[in-house]
Amino acid sequence: MSLFAIGDLHLHYQSVLKAKDQLNSPLWADHEERFAENCRRLIEEEDTLVLVGDHSWGRNLEECEKDFEYIKSLPGRKILTRGNHDMFWDAKKTAKLNDLYYPDLTFLQDGYAVYKDFALVASKGYTFEGPFYLDRKGKIIGYDESDFEHAKKLVEREAKRLTDNFEAAKKDGYTKFIMFLHYPPTSVIEKDSVFTNIAARYNVSQVIYAHCHGKSRFHDSIEGKYRGREYSLVSGDYLNWLPKKIMG
């Protein structure tokens, strides 16, 4: 009974692909076939696979049908968290998604899921991504303050959602946690954030995140041991489409 994670599949069986990196990068060539083969080789039916956001380029459920069929065909229990490109996913209608796709897929937005004696707690998260102002050497010397203020509001919203989910798990007696974000826990100008503080407050063992795909973004945030817990980037191209074993 192992736990695996990966993010940023960006499937497009029924939608138009416009992302230049995905169209041109060799890291993305035939990624669907490579990922499915790796899953079949590594994941057993009793295992759990958490897909950490940006599942499909589809703008609505109709454009995601074949993408979901692909995900359903993968081995193991599948848990999906919400990413910034998941246009099909209305945060207020997550219960409807679970009604439609139960028991094949679990859409985790509010509350928590369970793996062994761990509560799996998730939020899309958010982090400020610029625009930044650079000097001639490429060092950040400033940023757009109006965009930064807008980002702060989104960070606060997602932090509250995440905290509510942790509190729900605590109320039900859980003391062991794994935290999933789509966005990285810190921006390129932060060493700590509200999300690293939440991870410390609830003493999570691991923080799993995605979103940082494309080689220039692979090291935008925390990796490895930090403040007593493990931080892992699980974007698909970063992992070369090999799902990361988190536990088990």
What is the per-residue DSSP string for 83-128?
Answer: -TT-TT--GGGHHHHHHHHTTTEEEESSS-EEETTEEEEEE-----
Report the DSSP pairing between strands 48-52 and 3-6. Answer: parallel
What local confidence, expressed as pLDDT, does residue 129 receive?
Answer: 78
Cα–Cα dist 178/204, whole Å? 6
For residue 131, is the peptide bond before it cis, meaning its omega torsion is within 30 degrees of 0?
A: yes
- pLDDT digit string (tens) for 48-76? 999 999 999 999 999 999 999 999 999 99
Element (H, E) at 27: none
- Provide φ and ψ at 160, rounded to 5°: -65, -45
Element (H, E) at 23: helix 20-24
Cα–Cα dist 125/40, whole Å? 30
Statement: residue 134 has pLDDT above 80: no
What local confidence, expressed as pLDDT, does residue 1 receive?
Answer: 93
Burial class from Cβ neighbours inside 10 Å (0-12, 13-18, 19+) for residue 2 reads middle
- pLDDT digit string (tens) for 165-222? 999 999 999 999 999 999 999 998 889 999 999 999 999 999 999 999 888 889 999 9
CB 28 within 8 A of CB 19: no
The CATH number of residue 63's host domain is 3.60.21.10
Q: How many Cβ atoms from other residues are within 10 Å of residue 169's Cβ?
A: 22
Arithmetic mean of pLDDT, 98-112: 96
Structure tokens at 44: 């057993």
Cα–Cα dist 35/223, whole Å? 23
Q: How many structural domains compose the chain?
A: 1
- Residue ranges making up the domain that contains 11: 3-247
CB 186 within 8 A of CB 221: yes
